[in-house]
Structure 1
Amino acid sequence: MRQNGFSPEKSPAPEPGHRRHRRAAGQAVQRTWGRLTLRVRVAAFISLVVGLTVASTSLAVWLTARVQYYDNFDDTLVGRARALLQTPAADPTQVVRFPEGTFAAAGTRLAIVYADGTPFSSKGPDDQPPVGQPEIAVALGASDFSLRTARTIDGEQFRVVAIPSERGSEPRTAFVLAQTTRDIDRTLRSLATALLVIGGVGIGLAAYAGVYVARQGLRPVSQLTEAAEHVARTGDLRRIEIHGNDELARLGSSFNEMLTAVERSRELQRRLVGDAGHELRTPLTSLRTNLDLLAQAEGRAGLSDQDRSELLDDVRAQVEELTGLVGDLVELSRDDVDRFEGRELDMAEILGTAVERARRRAPTVEFDVTLRPWTVFGDARALERAVLNLLDNAGKWSPPGGTVTVRLTDGVITVADQGPGIADEDLPFIFDRFYRAEESRNMPGSGLGLAIVRQAAERHGGSVTADRAPGGGALLTLRLPHSSSVTHTEL
């Protein structure tokens, strides 16, 4: 019914109760299953699968045996009936008078059924075979044969066969032969009991095997869980023992590799923090001292303008040194970044830009540059920072009027200066963080420039080495692979 131009909203039809209960039951089963441990779930799954297999196999065996038993039983029963009627001297009305077991096995009942449905037998009503419509149809000639299972009044089960028995004259009759199935049923019950016992034992063994397999198979997982909990609780990156070479063993090896990587990263961070704290202490102390002097001299006539200017210049230099040190630390903090977004770059162009910047920083030094094109795949900023550090290092050590020789040939960048060179005892450590040779203690720098060069080289699949130049001085060599030989996903 519409009122004021609006129609009443229809409420959603309520969900049927049986569907709601079924969904709630399913959710309860899922919650219960989810609360079980993996070991219990694996054992339960194995037991369930084996149990279903045993049950289906036992059922198939029992059904096959039942069909075979009854087929053989029926063939024997029909053969006996036909054999009795084919005996030349046998009259059906006389055959039914013979004692039980004369022509057939014990538990056999015989009768003649007339067309009107009346049975004839020498036995009493309680010992006559079951007679019904199928047997009457054979007596009437409407059917040539019938075979069925029937029960007597006392509940005993028989297999009943009926075949025509007339000898060419009326009235038509049917010969009925019935035999009890108690022996077959007893055999089938025994077989069912045996199969139940065997199935129960099989399911029990399957459950035991499932628990054993789950316990043994998931032992590495338990070890991984305990190791992870130990690391989270104590921070101790202790490895686990690995046995075998299956998938779980590979998982354990990967876990150990992860612990190794975490320990290496933590050690690098610890060293970086320790070295940074040590290196930052000196410029900060000097900066604080100069600021204290300026504060004490404020308002006094004892500090000349020249002294004040020198202090301010010293403060500016220390701030610049501190800024450079912080920038280098930020650059080195990216050491744990194994992948970055790169692109194809012309190393000659990057090196040319870096040379121009180095010339402005070292105006008293001559740069002899020869560059050949070389394509690399990588990070332009990191590569420019690395080659600029090489050039700055060479410019710093070269005397006024000296020459820095820069070459790029087939991915090999060489930077040679005309300074004092690198001492033999310093060569193994020249690319370490915060390492400074004895001669460079009083020179500006953070001791991180060459470490940044090595980091950039390794991240791009290359390398960097230090040696003596043929004409004296230091010779630093940076090698970078061509972009065609680098898998981009490796960067």
Structure 2
Amino acid sequence: MRVALLSAIMVGMAAAGVSAAAFYVVRGSLYSDLDDQLRQRAVTVVSSGLLSNQYNLPAAALYGSDIRVGLIDARGNGYTVPDSPPPPIGADERDVAGGRQPTSLHTVRDLRVLAVPAGPQGLALVLAQPMDPMRHTLAGLGVVLALVGGAGVVVAGLAGATVAEAGLRPVKRLTSATERVAATGDLRPIPVTGNDELARLTHSFNAMLGAVAGSQEQQRRLVADAGHELRTPLTSLRTNVELLIAASQPGAHSLPEADRKEIFDDVRGQIEELSTLVGDLVELAREDAPRAEHEQLDLVEVVERALARARRRAGDIRIEPSLTPWTMFGDATAMERAVLNLLDNAVKWSPPDGVVWVGLHPVGDGTAMLEVADAGPGIADADLPRVFDRFYRATEDRGRPGSGLGLSIVKQVAQRHGGSVTAGRGTAGGALLAMRLPGGPGQPG
């Protein structure tokens, strides 16, 4: 409606401007033609010699039957055609007769009055022509222009409404889809037609809907997988606690000390497993939280801090680092957590008295590879594409402690820092997990 109204207003203003211009052009042309006719008739009468005798004035009037004719002197006295209305006589006409003004042309009431000298006798010829025909012509022209302009405004309004309806139809579909999403949560994409700006906007909106749908699906999988992973330790923990409570009841058979100690160890282990799983879930939930402020990092220092923590719980497994200086912008805490997860994974899969190799070296394309390799059984080819998925655990890993989220956190941290992760086999036959990270050698700048 606003588009149609705006179109009508703009066309109305344009029509009004064109009509006014046309009216004044025609009006000026009619005035010019009328003045030219008066001058031509005056020249014809004066040059004919009829005015040498004022009694010839009726003959002079024959040059224009619709014209009032008069012959005056400097005092305004003169001669007019009998039985014909005299032309208006004023100061301008007397000045022409007295030689004080060469000619006079002006409008008096509805008459166009011209005065010109009429020979050397100190006389002036006065011609006055009615302007009624010209005024009727202008009035008719005004009516025609008003009708044409009004019709143009109406047509422009209808055309604007039609064009607006057709042009805004995709916007209405987009608005309806937005309201549908807000009311129902239905994230189905909107059909797209054409290739104009509105089509591009619809494509962008569909891309946003796809991203929201993907995020929702990811959240649903996270909740489902978390519930599945929490169920096992919680069931085992509840069983052990119920067993301890039952054994502590009066008259119940007491548990041997060795069995009691084993149950307590299981409870402690299950609590630690739950704590690890909850901590990993919280870490993964930070993906949708505001990002930590990045700072300039010396990646070697970050890796060395993670190495110190990993060695304290590695037992008899050795960790051999080979680190080349590398700097980058990032979150030091998140990066240290990711490196520690890689080290813990390698330690978990290493045989007794095994070795874990840690390497940090530039690749040559503005990135560096942080690689962690172990001498364990390695990763099956079928598991390589999925080792960084949330809660994914290989078949032979089911009985080992862990939440199944450690490597997912590694992937998340790498992507948050503009990097990537890969999995493969090391030279010793074990797993080789790596992060490719942007940055540069030397001191951060």
What is the TM-score with the length of structure 2 in the denominator? 0.91
Q: Measure, in 1, the Cα distance between the counterparts of 2:433 and 2:211.
A: 30
Q: Identify which of 135, 138, 156 aligns with 2:93.
A: 135
Contact (CA 8 Å) 1:394, 1:415: kept in 2 or not? Answer: yes
Distance 2:405 2:439 in 1: 27
- CA distance in 2 between counterparts of 1:98 and 1:306 reads 152
- Can you give the 5+ residue segments of structure 2 that lack an aligned partner in the other structure? 363-367
Aligned counterpart in structure 2 of residue 399 of structure 1, from 351, 359, 367: 351
Q: CA deviation at 1:140?
A: 4.0
1:298 and 2:248 are equivalent in the alignment: yes
Q: Is the alpha carbon distance of 1:483 and 1:409 closer, same or farther for their aligned partners in structure 2, counting shifts above 3 Å? A: closer
Q: Distance in 2 between matches of 1:212 and 1:340?
A: 52
- What aligned pairs does 1:195-234 form with structure 2 within 5 A after superposition? 195-234=145-184
Q: Deviations over 1:341-386 (max 9, x none)?
A: 3233222221111111111121221001000012222222222211
* Whole-angstrom distance in 2 between the partners of 1:119 and 1:200: 52
Give the Cα–Cα distance (whole angstroms) in 2 for the partners of residues 441 and 332 of structure 1.
21
Change (3 A) 1:115 1:402: same
Counterpart among 19, 35, 52 of residue 74 in structure 1: 35
In the alignment, the residues of structure 1 paired with residue 192 and residue 233 of structure 2 have an alpha-carbon distance, to the nearest angstrom, of 50
Secondary structure of 1:406's partner? Answer: strand
The answer as to 2:360 corresponding to 1:432 is no
- The partner residue of 2:112 within 136, 159, 171 is 159
> Are positions 1:370 and 2:322 aligned together?
yes
**Secondary structure at 1:90 match in 2:** helix
**Cα-Cα RMSD:** 2.2
The one-character-per-residue Cα deviations of 1:127-158 (angstroms, maximum 9, x if unpaired) are: 2222233323333444322211122xxxxx22
Q: Retained in 2: the 8 A contact 1:377–1:483? A: no
Change (3 A) 1:92 1:198: farther
Which residue does the alignment assign to 2:49?
88
Residue in 1 that maps onto 2:212: 262
Structure 1 residue identity aligned to 2:92: P
1:9-32 Cα offsets, whole Å, 9 max, x none, are xxxxxxxxxxxxxxxxxxxxxxxx
Superposed counterparts of 1:114-193, under 5 Å: 114-124=73-83, 127-151=85-109, 157-165=110-118, 167-169=119-121, 172-193=122-143
Residues 12-91 of structure 1: matches in 2 within 5 Å? Answer: 40-91=1-52
SS in 1 for 2:389: coil
Contact 2:322–2:359 under 8 Å retained in 1: yes
Confirm whether residue 413 of structure 1 aligns to residue 413 of structure 2.
Answer: no
Q: Sequence identity of aligned pairs in percent?
A: 51
- State the AA in 2 paired with 1:443: R
- Given that 1:338 and 1:459 are in contact with CA atoms closer than 8 Å, whether structure 2 keeps it comes out as no
Distance 1:381 1:446 in 2: 20
Looking at structure 2, the residues matched to 483 and 108 of structure 1 have their Cα atoms a distance apart, in angstroms, of 101
8 Å contact 2:103–2:115 — kept in the other structure? yes
Q: Which moved more, 1:73-82 or 1:309-318?
A: 309-318
CA distance in 2, matches of 1:133, 1:444: 122
Contact 2:50 2:57 in 1 (8 A): no
What one-letter code is carried by the residue in structure 2 that aligns with 1:53? A
Q: Deviations over 1:369-417 (max 9, x none)?
A: 0000122222222222111111110011112211000000101111111
For 1:149, the aligned partner's letter is: T
Paired residue secondary structure (1:98): helix
3-state SS in 2 of match to 1:466: strand
1:93-150: per-residue Cα shift (whole Å, max 9, x none)? 24532375x213x4211112333334531234x7222223332333344432221112
Residue 113, structure 1, aligned to residue 65, structure 2:
no
Gaps of 5+ in 1: 1-39, 152-156, 485-491
Q: Is the 8 A contact 1:92 1:112 kept in 2?
A: no
Secondary structure class of the residue paired with 1:404: strand
Moved more, 425-434 or 312-321: 312-321
Q: 1:123 to 1:323 in 2, by over 3 A?
A: farther
- Residue 365 of structure 2 is matched in structure 1 by none
Q: What are the Cα deviations for residues 424-482 of structure 1, in whole angstroms up to 9, with x where unaligned?
A: 22222211111111111111100011111112222222221111222121111211122
What is the CA distance between 1:306 and its match in structure 2? 4.4
Q: Which moved more, 1:225-234 or 1:239-248?
A: 239-248
Tell me how far apart the structure 1 counterparts of residues 290 and 43 of structure 2 sit (CA, whole Å): 92
The correspondence for 1:98, drawn from 41, 52, 59, is 59
